[in-house]
Amino acid sequence: MELLRAIENRHSVRQYLDKPLEPKIIEALTQRIDEINAHSGLHIQLCINNPQAFDSKMAHYGKFRGVQNHLALIGPKGLQLQEMCGYYGEQLVLYAQCLGLNTCWVALTYNKKQSSALIDPGEERACVIALGYGQTQGIPHTVKPLEKLYRVDGRKAPVHELPEWFLNGMEAALLAPTAMNQQRFIFDLKDGNRVDAYALSGPYSAIDLGIVKYHFEIAANALSTDWSFE
């Protein structure tokens, strides 16, 4: 239930207070990152006291202010890297929300060269996540009509045909952050218990797919575990 509340309460925040992360918060984040990296094979890093990464014209264009910390989403080069970074990065976003922190996914509007993250040979950085104590808690983003984002066995279908667990998952997916708030994804319910989630064309749509799949998974599993992603 705590993660479901985090999904509902979490909004993108771009302006941060000049307040350092407490040692216990750093310890908790580091432990969770280590667990995720061990499980996924990623090389996600917590970059603390690194304001230089957001001291650039691009960052100012993105309306970022006071960003002292970020998560660098790094992993082995490959076709699945972006979706994996979206899926596991959003786990850290919601965990940070539970710890009382604010976040914002960032793809372009930061200074890559000034990030303190280390990228090993054969790795690349998918994006970063700004992290800290927000000046505000952010505001909800606009969402597309639910009917535009799902199918049932490849066809459009009324909401009343959806099983409750699938509807719950879709409502959580609507709350997920996506690049430029485009929500370019589709969830197709097949044979009543299989879900084919796929991204439509668009910038960073693979990262977005990983994010929305994690939201869907949390909310759907709250009502039923008798389903699976294809």
Enumerate the β-bridge partners of residue 24: none
Predicted confidence at residue 60, as pLDDT, reads 62
- Indicate the helix (H) or strand (E) that contains 220: helix 205-221
Predicted confidence at residue 61, as pLDDT, reads 61
Q: Last residue of some domain: 108, 132, 156? A: 132
Which pTM was predicted?
0.96
Number of domains comprising the chain: 2
Question: What's the half-sphere exposure (Cβ side, CA atoms, 13 Å) at 111?
Answer: 18
Is 140 a member of any domain? no
Helix and strand numbers (H, E) in the chain are: 6, 8
Q: What is the dihedral of CA 189, 194, 200, 204, to 10 degrees?
A: 130
Average pLDDT rounded to a whole number, residues 146-153: 97
- The distance in angstroms from the start CA to the end CA of the chain is 25
Do 97 and 152 sit in the same domain of this protein? no
Quickly state the pLDDT bin for 181 (edges 50, 70, 90).
confident
Predicted confidence at residue 59, as pLDDT, reads 59
Orientation angle between helical segments 205-221 and 2-9, nearest 10 degrees: 140
Do 109 and 156 sit in the same domain of this protein? no
Locus of tokens 């580091």 = 30
Q: Note down the domain range covering 57.
A: 2-132
Integer Cα distance of 201 and 194 in angstroms: 23
Do 110 and 11 sit in the same domain of this protein? yes
Which phi and psi (to 5°) does residue 205 adopt? -65, -30
CATH number, position 79:
3.40.109.10
